[in-house]
């Protein structure tokens, strides 16, 4: 009966996405490498299953868990990386897979000419390894195109679907997996001889999986990422590894010495020690740098009406939100009072604008004093080298932009192009400063 097989496929999808999003959510504590390693470990399995393992489902379709669950899920997970990190992070595992595929093909070519003692283990199937190498190599080339295309589609349809992230993920996923299916299947057919019915079957199955993955990832972004993983980049007092060695305790003390006591982010002294050096290093590699100066709107009113305890709680909530929305390489510091500085190494103008828009939207969900709000922020953005080549110059430029955002009505973003609010009627239409 095919229906139990459909239920098992659904179970595999839920299990796969849940485990991968869990690893992704833990990136602030353990690094994103653990997520990328798990993603790459599935690459051979998904190719092997796409070539050999098919399940009969209702409608006379033949579906492979490799292409339907693992590959379609990987495409949506890479989009998740872009949404929460950036396009550079998306390219890293793809480049790694491509290099690994070439390495595998080279090693198999060498092994082919290496003597094998008969009777010790099964004879190696070099033809099969050649087929897998070709399919994996072609699949990775397509994956690079898929990664670029899904980001472009996701951003382009944002003007129509706005903040409906789940819908944007679903539409982008279906479009890209359609493109991929009709380019990968001919090579798969040539190498393994899979029947024509798998072309349509695979497209329907991948499209369905893209929608299901979008729902799961959308639920993760809405209900899990913020609630479970906020603050995981802070060392916990009960962390057993911190209790095992004096060296780790010493490193934690050094780390804490440069942190703001109220919010836990870097303090002003640490900012002045680190930023100039890191910006100079980044610019020396011909990479851009963006500095965002963030200020809470009407913060004095919060302190006056609800007390300083409520104001402190709002500052801590804002700091946690900033950290949850930044990449691992980004840094956030408390500049003073209710002002925070975010330094994005390798982030250009367009990336800084997207980051500022996301922070502005996330800030609108912050509440204070038992549910009052929403809180709003204003952001000034400066990007090197156009707005300066030193941290002092960039911070000064960002401060001027912040002043313009305040003067233009608050709850806004200001860059050299002008000020605007991504949630207001002038969305995406900066007003000249």
Q: Which of 24-28, 256-260, 403-407 has the lowest mean pLDDT?
A: 256-260
Q: Tell me: the pLDDT tens digits for 69-125? A: 999 999 999 999 988 887 778 888 888 988 988 888 888 888 888 876 666 767 778
- Report pLDDT for 420: 80
Is the pLDDT score of 168 beyond 70? yes
Between these two residues, 339 and 4, which has the higher pLDDT value?
Answer: 339
| pLDDT for residue 239 is more than 90 | no
The mean per-residue pLDDT over the stretch 55-63 comes to 86
pLDDT band with cut points at 50, 70 and 90 for residue 227: low
Distances (CA, A) of 203 to 11, 53, 90: 20, 16, 24
Supply the pLDDT for residue 28. 77
Residue 366 has pLDDT above 90, yes or no: no
CA distances from 119 to 114, 123, 358 (A): 16, 8, 62
Task: Using the predicted structure, report yes or no on whether residue 212 has a pLDDT greater than 50.
Answer: yes
pLDDT at residue 238, as a whole number: 39
Q: Would you state the pLDDT for residue 237?
A: 37
State the DSSP code for 85: S
Q: What domains are defined for the chain?
A: 2-229 (no CATH), 266-420 (3.30.70.270)
SS3 125: coil
- Residue 39 is inside which H or E element, if any? helix 33-52
* pLDDT score recorded for residue 156: 87
Give the per-residue pLDDT at 234.
Answer: 42
Rounded CA separation 35/16 (Å): 12
Distance of CA 342 to the CA centre of its chain: 18
Q: CA gyration radius for the chain? A: 25
The whole model's pTM is what?
0.59
Residue 20 pLDDT: 95
When pLDDT is cut at 50, 70 and 90, the band that residue 273 belongs to is: confident
């Amino acid at each position: 009966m095919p229906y139990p097989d459909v239920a098992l496929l659904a179970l595999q999808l839920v299990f796969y996405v849940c485990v991968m999003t869990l690893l992704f959510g833990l990136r602030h504590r353990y690094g994103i490498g653990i997520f990328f390693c798990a993603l790459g470990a599935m690459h051979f399995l998904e190719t092997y299953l796409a070539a050999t393992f098919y399940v009969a489902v209702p409608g006379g379709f033949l579906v492979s868990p490799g292409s339907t669950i693992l590959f379609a899920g990987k495409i949506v997970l890479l989009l998740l990386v872009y949404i929460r990190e950036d396009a550079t992070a998306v390219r890293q595992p793809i480049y790694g897979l491509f290099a690994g595929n070439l390495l595998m093909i080279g090693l198999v070519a060498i092994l082919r000419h290496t003597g094998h003692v008969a009777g010790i283990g099964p004879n190696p199937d070099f033809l099969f390894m050649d087929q897998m190498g070709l399919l994996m190599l072609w699949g990775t080339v397509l994956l690079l195109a898929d990664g670029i295309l899904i980001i472009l589609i996701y951003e382009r349809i944002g003007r129509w679907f706005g903040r409906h992230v789940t819908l944007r993920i679903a539409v982008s996923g279906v479009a890209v997996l359609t493109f991929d299916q009709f380019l990968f299947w001919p090579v798969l057919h040539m190498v393994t001889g899979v029947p024509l019915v798998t072309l349509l079957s695979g497209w329907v199955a991948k499209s369905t999986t893209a929608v299901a993955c979008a729902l799961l990832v959308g639920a993760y972004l809405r209900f899990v990422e913020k609630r479970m993983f906020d603050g995981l980049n802070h060392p916990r007092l009960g962390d057993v590894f911190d209790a095992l060695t004096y060296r780790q305790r010493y490193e934690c003390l050094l780390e804490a010495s440069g942190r703001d006591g109220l919010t836990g982010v870097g303090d002003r002294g640490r900012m002045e020690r680190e930023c100039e050096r890191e910006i100079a290093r980044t610019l020396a590699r011909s990479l851009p740098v963006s500095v965002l100066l963030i200020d809470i709107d009407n913060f004095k009113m919060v302190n006056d009406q609800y007390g300083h305890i409520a104001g402190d709680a709002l500052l801590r909530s804002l700091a946690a939100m900033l950290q949850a929305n930044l990449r691992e390489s980004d840094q956030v510091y408390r500049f003073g009072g209710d002002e925070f500085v975010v330094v994005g190494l390798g982030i250009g103008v367009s990336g800084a604008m997207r980051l500022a828009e996301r922070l502005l939207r996330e800030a609108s969900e912050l509440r204070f004093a038992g549910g009052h709000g929403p809180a709003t922020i204003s952001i000034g953005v400066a990007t090197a080298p156009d707005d300066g080549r030193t941290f002092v110059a960039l911070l000064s430029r960002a401060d001027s932009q912040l002043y313009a955002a305040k003067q233009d009505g608050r709850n806004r973003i200001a860059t050299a192009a002008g000020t605007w609010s991504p949630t207001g009627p002038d969305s995406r239409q900066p007003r000249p400063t």
